[in-house]
């Protein structure tokens, strides 16, 4: 039976996970609507209040009018149109503050009440530091689009995205520990094939999501609206010769990045099929077998969504669902790893303890 303190901690952390997910998807909405560069300053405290009155709005708008985005993209934008994109980014930052507060305020209460034992406090404090780092990284990313080019650095965008995934994973994993318990890792040589494949899945998912960030940052999704052909070819020419030195094409050539992202999805699919097969072959618990089936279905849906985003030329709603689905895949994958490390009651393979 789960202790009340552990139950409270798990509920709190799962709520934080939900808000992190909302934050990531809303960040995608801000990016796709070209609203992310509308706030040209970063004020941690005073930034909670938007401009008040016509004079303040004119002053804020004037600062935006000095940016590359206004000068090169939105030169005819009116004040009312500016307010529209400003409020999108404003609510994005407000949501970030809210998510951080939902973590930090209960954390202090749980620490003061000793609900979180001192020996376990480091992981929670580490998550708090990651929230602070994520906030800084968000501004560092935005600042890259306020100098010369009307877009942010796609490298910083990917780091910002990966930090969000790390936060989500840590909160979700720690929540599972409190809700379901956890068995310590054995040596790598003693781990099961299923666990190895699960970790491999996390790695290829991370690569795929990173390339999704590169696609977003380079606006590479607009390079082609056909599938399986791309620019009239299965494999477009000059994938590795557009930029020099050639490895740069892998992360900075919009066509190459798009090509990798669309086909690497099938590497993720292969891992999910392997996990599905191993879980049944080795008679893992019903929980794990069901998880592999859910994972396989979600990856199938995600591939269909990805192709649909290409065919319909990056429609906002489908693109955001595609992004949300990636977060769901991460959580299912981490749940499978967590359960594969559980007690022997979770694994029904002839009394064998698989990690």
Domain boundary among 117, 151, 182: 182
Q: Are residues 10 and 137 in the same domain?
A: yes
Give the pair of three-digit tokens for residue 335. Answer: 């749940």
Q: Are residues 22 and 85 in the same domain?
A: yes
Q: What is the mean pLDDT of each run of 10 residues along the chain (355 residues)?
A: 74 98 96 95 82 94 96 94 96 95 96 90 96 95 94 96 97 93 56 86 97 96 95 93 94 98 98 96 90 96 97 96 96 91 46 38
Domain boundary among 182, 208, 238: 182
Q: Are residues 162 and 252 in the same domain?
A: no
Residue 333's alpha-carbon distances to 163, 186, 249, 264, in angstroms, are 17, 19, 30, 17
Q: Are residues 164 and 190 in the same domain?
A: no
Q: Which domain holds residue 100?
A: 1-182
Q: Are residues 78 and 221 in the same domain?
A: no
First-to-final CA distance of the chain: 22
Q: Are residues 229 and 166 in the same domain?
A: no
The confidence score (pLDDT) of residue 347 equals 41
* 182 close to 338: Cβ distance less than 8 angstroms: yes
The Cβ of residue 43 has, within 10 Å, a number of other Cβ atoms equal to 10
The confidence score (pLDDT) of residue 44 equals 77
- Per-residue pLDDT tens digits for 117-156: 888 899 999 999 999 999 999 999 999 999 999 999 999 9
The confidence score (pLDDT) of residue 350 equals 37
The confidence score (pLDDT) of residue 47 equals 75
| H or E stretch at 103 | helix 79-112
Q: Are residues 242 and 146 in the same domain?
A: no
d(CA 259, CA 234): 9
* 225 close to 311: Cβ distance less than 8 angstroms: yes
Q: Are residues 225 and 285 in the same domain?
A: yes
Q: Which of 27, 61, 20 is nearest to 138 (CA)?
A: 27
DSSP notation for 197-247: HHHHHHHHHHHHHHHHHHHHHHTGGGS---SS-BTTBSS-TTTTTSSSSGG
Q: Are residues 3 and 140 in the same domain?
A: yes
d(CA 140, CA 135): 9
Q: Are residues 228 and 178 in the same domain?
A: no
Q: Are residues 8 and 155 in the same domain?
A: yes
d(CA 302, CA 329): 9
Q: Are residues 92 and 106 in the same domain?
A: yes
d(CA 45, CA 242): 45
DSSP 51: P
Q: How many domains does the chain have?
A: 2
The confidence score (pLDDT) of residue 195 equals 87
The confidence score (pLDDT) of residue 126 equals 96
The confidence score (pLDDT) of residue 291 equals 94
Domain boundary among 142, 165, 182: 182
């Amino acid at each position: 039976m789960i202790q009340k303190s552990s139950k409270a901690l798990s509920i709190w952390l799962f709520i934080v996970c939900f808000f992190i997910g909302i934050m990531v998807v809303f960040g995608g909405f801000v990016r796709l609507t070209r609203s992310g560069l509308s706030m040209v300053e970063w004020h941690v405290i005073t930034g909670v209040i938007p401009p008040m009155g016509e004079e303040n709005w004119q002053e804020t708008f004037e600062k935006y009018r000095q940016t590359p985005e206004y000068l090169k993209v939105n030169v005819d934008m009116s004040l009312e149109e500016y307010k529209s994109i400003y409020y999108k980014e404003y609510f994005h930052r407000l949501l970030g503050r809210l998510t951080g507060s939902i973590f930090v305020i209960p954390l202090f209460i749980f620490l003061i009440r000793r609900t979180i034992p001192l020996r376990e406090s480091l992981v929670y404090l580490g998550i708090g530091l990651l929230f602070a780092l994520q906030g800084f990284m968000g501004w560092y990313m935005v600042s890259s689009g306020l100098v010369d080019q009307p877009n942010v650095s796609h490298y910083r965008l990917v780091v910002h995205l990966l930090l969000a995934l790390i936060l989500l994973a840590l909160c979700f994993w720690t929540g599972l520990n409190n809700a379901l318990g956890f068995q310590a890792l054995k040596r790598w040589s003693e781990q099961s094939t299923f666990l190895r494949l699960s970790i491999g899945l996390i790695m290829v998912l991370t690569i795929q999501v990173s390339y999704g960030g590169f696609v977003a940052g380079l606006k590479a999704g607009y390079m082609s609206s056909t599938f399986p052909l791309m620019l009239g070819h299965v494999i477009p020419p000059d994938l590795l010769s557009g930029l020099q030195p050639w490895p740069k094409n892998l992360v900075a050539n919009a066509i190459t990045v798009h090509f990798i992202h669309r086909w690497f999805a099938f590497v993720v699919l292969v891992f999910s099929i392997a996990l599905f097969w191993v879980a049944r072959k080795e008679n893992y618990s019903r929980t794990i077998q069901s998880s592999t089936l859910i994972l396989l279905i979600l990856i199938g849906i995600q591939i269909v969504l990805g192709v649909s985003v290409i065919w319909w030329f990056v429609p906002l709603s489908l693109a955001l669902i595609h992004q949300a689905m990636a977060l769901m895949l991460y959580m299912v994958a981490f749940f499978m790893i967590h359960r594969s490390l559980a007690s022997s009651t979770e694994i029904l393979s002839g009394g064998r303890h698989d990690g």
